[in-house]
Amino acid sequence: MDGNIHIGTRGSKLALWQARWVQAELLKAHPTLSVEIIVIKTKGDKILDVPLAKVGGKGLFVKEIEDALLEGKIDLAVHSMKDMPAELPGGLTIGAIPQRENPQDVMVSKKGCLAELPEGARIGTSSLRRAAQILFIRPDMCIDPLRGNLDTRLQKLDTGDMDAIVLAAAGIRRLGLEHRITEYLDSGVMLPAAGQGALCIEIRTGDEDTGALVGELDHAETRTVVLGERAFLHRLGGSCQVPIAAYGRIEDGRFELSGLVAEPDGSRIFRAALTGPAMTSVRIGTELAEKLMDQGAMTIIEKLQNQG
């Protein structure tokens, strides 16, 4: 295949690593391609002093890139799947979901694991999902707002008065910083964000040439799992304004999905799980969301959306 392909991405080290990985995989399969990376600054990259939940949530990291894709300025976009809103704009679709990295959250700490942190320890995160689950386990902890790219957050831990920060394992591992990890947080303690650890290669709906090109990077099992997690998120109307988590896996042909909705202060968590045939992952995601809604999770969601 010959041609020119333009990849849109954010400009952080991690975003560029992800875009370059896609670039390398495309060139490996099609050496005659010309593949160029276009860096696009998003609103989320510009606003660093306000928690995400207060300035619009997930779409902050993708809207400008999606606009460029819709306008034909780029041919595909590479995102972290966990940054993707539950619903895509008209005219865009997920072209591929490559094999997932480790989906867990990790703690990078000056004072040991979560259970070892002293009373009143300061933990840095701007994720309502992470903060709520930490406070549910350790209500004595103090949560410090923490924004910025991965390097910036690690530097703030090293030079500031925070005792620990919580990050996605995938980013740490992709940038070769695994030695900084103090503890992998088990999903029983910290359920990940929907799609965490997976990439989203987004294309224009109906662009068959680009679809065929990136389709070679799709990983069937990862797609099945992530679409189930996103169905859960979509049914709940999830955004960064509400602490929502979902983690699925396939074992022996069965899709197992765990999900939760929490109060931001960790005072109340609705959590449940559902299992079924892997081919029905989207239905299972929707049904699990409805199960939590029946338990009362919508009281949290509606309250936070009204406050927002």
Query: Could you say which of 45, 49, 75, 83 is catalytic?
Result: 83
Structure tokens at 249: 């896996």
Comparing C-alpha atoms, which of 51, 50, 47 is closest to residue 64? 47
H/E element, 266: none
Structure tokens at 303: 């309250």
DSSP characters over 23-71: HHHHHHH-TTEEEEEEE---HHHH--SS-HHHHTGGGGGTHHHHHHHHT
Angle formed at CA 185 by CA 182 and CA 190, multiple of 5 degrees? 145
Q: Which positions ≥6 away from 205 have C-beta within 8 Å?
A: 90, 91, 92, 93
The C-alpha atoms of residue 32 and residue 247 are separated, in whole angstroms, by 39
**Annotation says 83 is catalytic:** yes
Q: Are 5 and 35 in contact (CB under 8 A)?
A: yes
**Which residues are catalytically annotated?**
83
